[in-house]
Amino acid sequence: MKVAPSLLSCDFAKMGDEIVRVDKAGADMIHLDVMDGHFVPNLTIGPAIIKSVRKYTSLPFDVHLMIEHPLDYIDAFADAGADIITFHVEAESDIRETIEKIKSRGVKPGVVVKPKTPAEAVFPYLDDVYMVLVMTVEPGFGGQKFMADMMPKVGEIKAEIKRRGLGVLVEADGGIAADTAEAAARAGVDICVSGTGVFKAEDAAQAIQFLKQF
Comparison of pLDDT for 41 and 78, the residue scoring more: 78
Mean pLDDT of 90-99: 98
Encode pLDDT of 14-33 as tens digits: 999 999 999 999 999 999 99
| Catalytic annotation, pick one of 28, 36, 62, 173 | 173
- Domains of the chain, with CATH numbers? 2-212 (3.20.20.70)
23 is catalytic: no
Residue 83 has pLDDT above 80, yes or no: yes
| Catalytic annotation, pick one of 28, 33, 36, 190 | 33
173 is catalytic: yes
Q: What is the pLDDT of residue 144?
A: 77
For the chain, what is the mean pLDDT?
96
Q: What whole-number percentage of the chain has pLDDT above 90?
A: 91
Encode pLDDT of 131-145 as tens digits: 999 999 988 777 778
- Own/partner contacts of 79-84, CB < 8 Å, gap of 24 or more, are 79/47, 79/51, 80/47, 80/48, 80/50, 80/51, 80/54, 81/50, 81/51, 81/54, 82/32, 82/50, 82/107, 83/29, 83/107, 83/108, 84/29, 84/60, 84/108, 84/109, 84/110, 84/130, 84/131
Mean pLDDT of 46-69: 98
